[in-house]
Structure 1
Amino acid sequence: MKSNNHFSILFPYYEDTVYKQLSDSACHDLGLDTLCHELTNDPREQNLIMSILSNMTADPRVAVYRQKVFVDILRLPELRNKLTELFDRIEFLRKFSGSRMETDEKLGFWHLMHRLDELDDYIKCVEAMRDCLSDAEIKSEGLINFKAYIDELYSDACFAEMKKDIAELKIKSLKIESVTLGVNVNSRFEAVSMGLISVNDKPFKKSNIVTNFADAIASKNKVQEGNEWDGDMHYHQVDKLNEHKVSKFIENTGGYLAVTKTPFVDGRIRATITKTPDGDGSANATSYLDKVMNKMLDSVVKKLGDTVTKYADIAIVNISQIIPEFMYYIKFAEFIDKCMEKGFRFCEAQVIRGDDVAMDAKDLYNLKLAINLQSVEELVYNDLKFDKEHTIYILTGANRGGKTTITQAVGLMYVLAQSGVYVPASSFEYKPVDCIYTHFPADEDKTMDLGRLGEECVRFKAIYSECTKDSLLLLNETFSTTSFEEGFYIAKDSVRALLKKQVRTIYNTHMHKLAADAEELNKESSGVKLSSLIVKSDNGKRSFKVEVASPEGMSYAKDIAEKYGVTYDMLVN
């Protein structure tokens, strides 16, 4: 969508769309930093991907818009490859553009010709991009509209006409052998302004400057009426100073040479005197001509240069702004392609429009965990649903049984889905969230002033104030740094408040009593309910599978005690 002459395939322009930024701690808790490092080794690209993933909106139109673009990018690898090559070319042109050359000299005519060559390359890149996006297989609104946007830029900048003009200019420039200039002078014969009269395919003939100058001003019919050049005047060349009879004459008579060496004389007079290069007159001719042209054609070159830069900016600046967005999609497409080749499941998320169900996931798994697995067979899949009967989950289970893994997995699902990317599941239907808030254990150095419990309370209160019924809240062992009685009291009140706000929540905790009190807590809620979710164990073995069920309570403590040999019988025998 376009706004203020800028197009985006990630942030479609809707006036009422509101974005919220994930906190740094939430990004870390969800493992987004690990994911970004897996996608690319380039720190700039990592920062770009992180900024996109962490910028969330509950607007379903944005999620759908992104998803359709990603589907096109994923299923058309040839399009990805062509676009990547074009972006590399554009980036090269941008970095080494003549417009960024630094020099003490003014940028002259030959630099202008170089800029025209660059613009020709830009135009070719834009045309190639149009051809790529003309693929009939492209179905997404984003890419179809971007093709129209490129067409509009191409037309507005008159690139077709300019490309033709550049081609003709390059051909004709090979024939240029002389330039006719018109110089306006005042009563003291000081140059006051200059204009370009013609560009010629034949050189002027060398002649005597004094004779022709004298003839030109001595006879009335030699001073031309008006300012249209009729070809009657001869070419007057200024030779090397101190080596030509004309130069000696000027020196002996104290003429213009004296003027050039007098610091108090009007600079405009001295500016009309030009010294030719040393040697035989041909060495460094191009450099010399460029300096002369800089002085005499400065205004003409500047205007032409500004025009070229303007159209180069249309081709490069506008399109360069969207290259990072394409690279975001391309990096994810390449990553997911590789994962799918290994056998990992991915699917296109589907936005739910109704209010009864907020999420329905089948065979979801933790992508961060999957990255480090040697085999897809090691994965454990789970089903989970958010609806009015299951808006808040109190998740309990054995230590190291997978509670944090499933909690993190759900957060990752929402981030990827709303960022337009395929999600790790066999199916995923969801209602977008406006933001994801996490409350995981803080680093010890962050709890020095308030103590662990104080820090947890302050942080939870801030999160609760910000979250809405459209948010996702993930709590990991919150209020577990104190005694059970104190922690349970705070946790229970917090859950009651979350029920009132109707926030989608997974509360991973060892406080089984909190889950056991679900029925009591639900009596106070008129809108949504909480449920007990457990990580199942099979005869003491961790399955890493979750299900809605009553907490198993002390069996987990027994399991841990037996594993580490601290039951009474194991200790005394």
Structure 2
Amino acid sequence: MNEFNLLYPQGTAPGFQKISETACNDLSLEYILSHVAKNEYEKNLIKRMMTGLESCPEVIRYRSDIFDDFINFPSFKDIIRDSLDRLDYLKTLGRSFNDDSVAPIWQLINRLQELDVYIGCIEEIYSALKEIDVRSDGLKQLKDYVASVYNDSGFEYLKADIKELITETSQIQSITLGVNLDETMRPYIAKDVVKAMRSLGARTIFNTHMHELAMNLEEINAPDGKIKVASLVTGIHEGRRSYKVYCAPPDGISYARDIAEKYGVTYSQLMKMTVERRS
């Protein structure tokens, strides 16, 4: 299907007249924008459209017809608004694809989320347009375009594959990871791995001796998601470990020597055992 534009009918080109700042002030444009735009980006976008007045009767009629459809079908208007918000979120996911510092597993998860959002938007817009009788040429073209995507055999395969991949990754119940440390023994890769596991919905990740990782929880929990990563420590009572676990920052203390002494594998214990066996 040929490309289409909801601002200009096919065969026409932009031919607007830029209004002056004086006219903007007379129209109280800033006041209007403060009530219709939800952020600075949207404000500037709407301002560019409102200050570039189109003089072509065909273009004005084309846009007015589309506007009438949105007024007549408010539920569809809400679906389009929600879909545009979700598609705008794809910009955030897309930034990681060209960032070499982002781990490949994190890029994979972002790609799955991106495709899932795209599929959901196509399905919702298709279902909404199928139930209403739009009158404007612009939304009729949108209806035909979305239907062609939805009914394409490739879309069904894509939907099935993404659903299967997301199901498989979201149902991971346990995973064992070996993480390499840098020359200063800092677990850089572990941070991306934990962020990825959190995005997948992992309920439990257990590791020890990664104090710096636990100190970066604000960064790890920054991406959207229901699951939060927490730092757990074991309590100390009167100088002895109580084995009570609670949420707290790492104390930087390792109890590996206590465990080694308990099982008789410290250096002095091993040497003593060696001497006793040789005697």
Using structure 1 for the length normalisation, give the TM-score: 0.27
8 Å CA contact 1:83, 1:132 repeated in 2:
no
| Distance in 1, Cα, partners of 2:40 & 2:167 | 44
| Equivalent residue runs for 1:315-354 within 5 Å | none
Partner of 2:124: 128
8 Å CA contact 1:98, 1:111 repeated in 2:
no
Among 80, 84, 96, the alignment partner of 2:81 is: 84
How far is the alpha carbon of 1:71 from its aligned partner?
A: 1.0
Q: Which amino acid aligns with 2:45?
A: L
1:163 to 1:36, Cα distance in 2 relative to 1, 3 A? same
| Distance in 2, Cα, partners of 1:42 & 1:114 | 25
Q: Which amino acid aligns with 2:33?
A: C
1:57 aligns with 2:54: yes
Larger radius of gyration: 1
Among 141, 150, 153, the alignment partner of 2:137 is: 141
**Percent pairwise identity:** 28
Partner of 1:46: 43
Partner of 2:96: 99
1:19 to 1:159, Cα distance in 2 relative to 1, 3 A? same
8 Å CA contact 1:99, 1:115 repeated in 2:
no
8 Å CA contact 1:69, 1:143 repeated in 2:
yes
How far is the alpha carbon of 1:117 from its aligned partner?
A: 3.7
**Which 5+ residue runs of structure 2 have no aligned equivalent?**
173-177, 182-186, 194-279
**Which 5+ residue runs of structure 1 have no aligned equivalent?**
177-274, 279-283, 291-573
| Equivalent residue runs for 1:165-564 within 5 Å | 165-170=161-166
1:35 to 1:61, Cα distance in 2 relative to 1, 3 A? same
How far is the alpha carbon of 1:16 from its aligned partner?
A: 6.0
1:115 aligns with 2:111: yes
| Distance in 2, Cα, partners of 1:147 & 1:16 | 22
Partner of 2:257: none
How far is the alpha carbon of 1:104 from its aligned partner?
A: 2.8
Among 151, 158, 165, the alignment partner of 1:162 is: 158
8 Å CA contact 1:20, 1:56 repeated in 2:
yes
- Taking CA–CA contacts closer than 8 Å with sequence separation of 6 or more, which of the two structures ends up with the larger relative contact order? 1
Among 9, 29, 35, the alignment partner of 1:12 is: 9
Deviations 1:489-538 (A, max 9, x none): xxxxxxxxxxxxxxxxxxxxxxxxxxxxxxxxxxxxxxxxxxxxxxxxxx
1:41 to 1:98, Cα distance in 2 relative to 1, 3 A? closer
8 Å CA contact 2:93, 2:110 repeated in 1:
no
8 Å CA contact 2:69, 2:136 repeated in 1:
yes
SS in 2 for 1:104: coil
Q: Which has a greater percent of helix?
A: 2
Partner of 2:175: none
| Distance in 2, Cα, partners of 1:30 & 1:175 | 56
1:104 to 1:44, Cα distance in 2 relative to 1, 3 A? closer
Please report the RMSD computed on the Cα atoms of aligned residues, expressed in angstroms: 3.8
Q: Which has a greater percent of strand?
A: 1
Using structure 2 for the length normalisation, give the TM-score: 0.52
SS in 2 for 1:158: helix
